[in-house]
């Protein structure tokens, strides 16, 4: 959206895209987070926790690869990630997280969906 103000042009992302991303992620009543991406915290889905526990019990040193999302969930991931990438053109605070989400487009996993939901929770905190 472009606005003409006394100081000059003001450009901002269309808030409708933020609302649509939050709705598609099902985060209407979720709490927001302070940053869209957390590199130092491991991203795990609830579905992968039993597998992680087995790895610890068996003493496996190499992680077991996480299952890919089904075709419908993968398509949903791609649509939401593309919407967030579109928002990132006007939002420097989203650019790195959007890039990381787009890197996973070819083979998204449940952990990638968790990371995408974090971006959605970050969008909740913004005006």
Please, which pLDDT band fits residue 43 given cuts at 50, 70 and 90? low
Predicted confidence (pLDDT) per residue in 62-83, tens digit: 555 778 889 999 999 999 999 9
CB atoms within 10 A of CB 104: 19
As a whole number, mean pLDDT of residues 76-100 equals 92
Q: Residue 121: its pLDDT value, please?
A: 92
Residues 6+ positions from 59 with CB-CB distance below 8 Å? none
Mean pLDDT value across residues 36-49: 64
Does residue 2 register a pLDDT over 60?
yes
Strand 2-5 to 8-11 pairing: antiparallel
Average pLDDT over residues 3-19: 85
């Amino acid at each position: 959206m472009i606005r003409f103000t006394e100081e000059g042009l003001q450009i901002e992302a269309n808030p409708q895209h933020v609302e649509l991303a939050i709705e598609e992620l099902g985060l209407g009543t979720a709490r927001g987070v302070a940053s869209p991406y957390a590199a130092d915290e491991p991203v795990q889905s609830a579905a992968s926790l039993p597998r992680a526990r087995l790895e610890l019990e068996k003493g496996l040193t190499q992680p077991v690869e996480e299952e890919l999302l089904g075709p419908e969930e993968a398509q949903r991931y791609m649509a939401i990630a593309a919407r967030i990438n579109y928002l990132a053109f006007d939002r420097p605070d989203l650019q790195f997280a959007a890039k990381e989400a787009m890197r996973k487009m070819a083979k998204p996993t449940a952990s990638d969906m968790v990371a995408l939901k974090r971006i959605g929770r970050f969008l909740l905190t913004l005006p």
